Amino acid sequence: MQSYTTYKQLIAKTVILSLLSSLAIAFLYGMYIKKRAIDDLARTDARKTSRMAFEALYSAMEKGWSKQDLNAIILRLNNVEPQMRINAYRSPIVASLFGEIPNDKKIREQDPFVMKAMKGEEILTGDEEIRYLYPIVVKQQCITCHTNAHVGEINGVIDVRFPVENLKISLSTMINSFIIFFIFFTIVIFAILYFRLNALLVQPLKEFITLIQEIISKNDMAKRVSLKTKILEVKNIENYFNKMLDSIQDYYEKLQELSDRDYLTGLYNRRKFEEFLSYEIKRSIRHHHKFTILMIDLDNFKYINDTYGHASGDLVLKEVTEIFATNLRNADILARLGGDEFAVLLPETPYENGYTVVEKLRSRLEATPISLMFDQITLTASFGIAEYPEQGENIESLLTGSDLAMYKAKRSGKNTIARADQSDQEMAAEIQKKGEFLRRAIDEDRIEPFIQPIYNVQTGELFGYEVLARIRDGKRYIAAGQFIEVAESLGFAAKIDEIILTKGLRLREEKRWWDRRFFFNLSTKSLFGGEYVDLIRSHYERNPGASDNTGITIEILEREAIHNVNGLMEIIESMKKIGISFALDDFGSGFSSFVYLKYFDTDFVKIDGEFVKNIAVNEKDRIFVKHINQIAQEFGKQTVAEYVEDEETLEILKEIGVDYAQGYHFGRPKLLE
C-alpha cells in the first residue's frame, strides 16, 4: 500500500533537506577556503620569509662573516617567531668552496624535498604544518664570491616551516567568502524548493487541470483522475474529485434516462419514439420495405383514477406496460406518449402482420385481470394502425394517421382495432374543421385572456391571477379544454400562447398590478420555439418594479416535461436569471411528479384539483394533499391548491398549511375589458 505525506511534512522534509545541503556546502566551501589559504597565502608568506632570510644571510656573507655568524643570524630569525623555524642548506658547489655545515650533507642527500629544491623546484607541502623550500638561484653578483658557480645554478635552499593556524586571512577575503557563500546558499535553497514543489505539487496540479480540460472538452464523465503524487492533500483532491465525477455521472445518466424514457413505466417517451420512427423511415427507404406503427389508448382509464386513485392508476399503467412488453418482439419499440396513451413501432412489418400483433396485444390485455386493492379489473384499449408508406411517408403523417385510426376505434365502441384509409375522412375532416376555426380565430384576433384570482390561504389576501386562454365565438367564449389538443396537433399552440402572454402582460401593464403575480400556461413546445423570454424581458424593462417580489410565473405540465428534461432544465435556468419564476402544474396526477421536484428549479407547486375538490368528503384525497404540500414545502416550494369550491375545503387547506388557492370559491375566470 502506497504511503502519502502531508503538505506540512513535505515542507518539513524540504527544510531539513535544504539545511543538510547548506551544511554540506558550508563544509565543502570551508575546505576550499582552507586549501586556498594553504596554497596561496602560505606560499606568499613563506616566499616573503624566505626572501628576508636570504637577504639577511646574503648581507652577512657580503661582509665576510663566518659560518658561526651565519648560524647566529638563522638562530635570531627563528627567535623572532618561536613557532616558525628557518634553516638554510648549502648546495654541493657552495660546500666545496666554503666547507660543509654539520648535517647539511646528510639532509641534502636524505630529505626528498631538499633534494628536489636543490634541483630548482619550489616546494610547498604539509597540512598541519606548512613547509616551504625556496631554492637560491645563482645570479651574476653571486659569482664574485662563488667563483666555482655559474648563473642559474642552485647555491642552496631556504627551508621555512610554520604551523597552519598561524595563517591570517584578510578581512576582504572573509567578507567576499561570506557573500559568495550566502548567494550560493540562497540559490541552492530556492532550487531545492522549486524542484521539490514542482515535482510533488505543481506538476500533479498541472496534470489535474489538463485532465479537467479534457473531461470538459470531450464531455467524458466516465474518465477519472489519476495523479502521480505523494502529497496526501493532492491525493485527497484526486479522490474527492473522482467521487464528484461519480455523482455527476450518476446525475447525468439519470437526466439522460429522464430525457429518453418515461419515469413511471421506463418506456421510451414521445421524443425518443419519434427519433426511432425517423430512423425507421430512412431505413425503409434504403431497403424498400414496409413497417407499421400502432397508437394505443386505454379505455375508461379516467374511471380507474377517479375510483381507485392516481396511485392505483400508476400501478395499472405499469401492469399494462408489462403485458404489452412481453407480447412484442425484441426489435419492436414500445413507448408511452403521455397519460394512458402508448405507441408501438413494428419494424419491417406490413399491415397484415402488424394486425396480427395488434390482435394479440388486444386479446392478452382483455384476458389479463389486474388486481387493485381488494378488487380485480379487466382493462381494454383502442388500437389504431398506420402503415408506411400507405398512410404516410413522414413522421407527421404517420402519427396523424395512427391517431385518426385510434379515434376511429374508440368511436366504434372501444376495445377494437382500426385503420385509417383513404375512404375514412370523417375524423380528418373534423380535425380540419377545428383547425380552420382556430386559424380564423387567430387571424381575427379572437383569442382573449381570462384571469382567475389566486388568494393567500392564511391571510385571505389577493396574491395574483392565472391567465387562461379563451376563444370568442359570437357572444360566447370557448374554454381551452375544447380546442387545445387540436391546437397542439396542428401547430397552433405556440401562436395562441404568444397572444395570451402578450395580452396578459399588456393588461398587467395597463392596470399597473405590480403587486400581483401573473401565472401563464405555456406549453413546453412554446418555450422551446417562441420568443417569450424577450417579451417578458421587455415588459420588465419598460416597467421598473414589475418583477419586484411578484412577477411572471410560467406553469409546466408534467406530461409535457417528460419529453425533454435536459432542454427544459436549461430553459428554466436561463429564464430565472431575468426574474421569471416557474410552477409545476397539476402536481400529483402521477407519482413521477415527485421526481421533478428534484430536477426542476421551480418556485411553486400547483396541487392537482382532482385531489383538492373532494378533501372535505374523501379522507384519502385529504391525505394526498397533506403529503404533497409537506413534501413540496420541504423542497422550498410554495403550494397552490386548485379547484377550491367551498369554504369547508378552504378551512381544511388552511389547517394543512397550503400557501395559496384558486377556484370557484374565490371567483370564476373572467375577461377584464
Residue 288 CB-density burial (10 A; 0-12 exposed, 13-18 middle, 19+ buried): exposed
Distance CA 672, CA 518 (A): 14
- For residue 356, count CB atoms less than 10 angstroms from its CB and return exposed for 0-12, middle for 13-18, buried for 19 or more: exposed
Q: Is 646 helix (H, G, I), strand (E, B) or coil?
A: coil
Inter-CA distances, 130 with 79, 169, 289, 396, 479, Å: 18, 15, 111, 110, 120
Distance separating alpha carbons of residues 516 and 466, to the nearest angstrom: 10
Strand partners, 641: 607, 661
One-letter amino acid of 186 = T
Beta-ladder partners of 224: none
- How many angstroms separate the Cα of 660 from the Cα of each of 606, 638, 654? 9, 8, 9
User: By the 8 A CB rule, do 644 and 612 touch?
Assistant: yes
C-alpha count within 13 angstroms, C-beta hemisphere, residue 664: 6
Cell reading at 188: 541552492
Residues, the chain, total? 673
By C-alpha distance, which of 471, 466, 272, 299 is closest to 378?
299
Residue type, 162: F
Q: Which alpha helices (H) appear in 139-202, and where do they start and end? A: 171-197
3-class DSSP state for residue 586?
strand
Nearest to 310 by CA among 555, 586, 561: 586
Q: Are 338 and 347 in contact (CB under 8 A)?
A: no
The residue from 159, 340, 497, 659 that is catalytic is 340
As a whole number of angstroms, the distance between CA 327 and CA 647 comes to: 51
Query: 132, 117, 134, 177: which is closest to 41 by C-alpha?
Result: 132
Task: Give me the phi and psi of 162, to 5 degrees please.
Answer: -155, 150
Cell of 623: 391525505
Residue 127 designated active-site:
no
Give the chain's radius of gyration (CA, Å). Answer: 52
Mapping DSSP to helix (H, G, I), strand (E, B) and coil, where does residue 47 land?
helix
Alpha carbon distance 47, 417 (integer Å): 127
Residues serving a catalytic function are 340
